[in-house]
Amino acid sequence: MKIAYYPGCSLHATAKEFDLSTRAVCAALGVELVEVEDWNCCGATAAHAMSDSLAVGLAGRNLALAVGQGMNELLAPCAACFGRL
């Protein structure tokens, strides 16, 4: 089973252990994570404080990128990003 994977900024920076454990659990379950190519920050903090349309646009772009890669399911383990995508 393949699932699009959106790690978000946190899992690539301050929460690298969370990224590693997410990947390990998915691999053990036979789930192949395909990182969304050219993803952008979801804007979980600043964008949402500034503009609702910017916040929706950032998340929408990431979803569109996943669909463009032929994926119809997306895993966003970051608690901040999950609420935005």
Q: What is the pLDDT of residues 55-77, one digit of tens each?
A: 889 889 999 999 999 999 999 99
Q: How many domains does the chain have?
A: 1
Share above pLDDT 90 across residues of the chain, in percent, rounded to a whole number: 58
Q: Are 75 and 33 in contact (CB under 8 A)?
A: yes
Cα angle vertex 53, ends 48, 55, to 5°?
35
SS3 percent helix, strand, coil of the chain, rounded to 5, is: 50, 10, 35
Q: Does 85 score more than 60 pLDDT?
A: no
Range of the structural domain that residue 13 is part of: 2-82
Three-state DSSP state, 75: strand
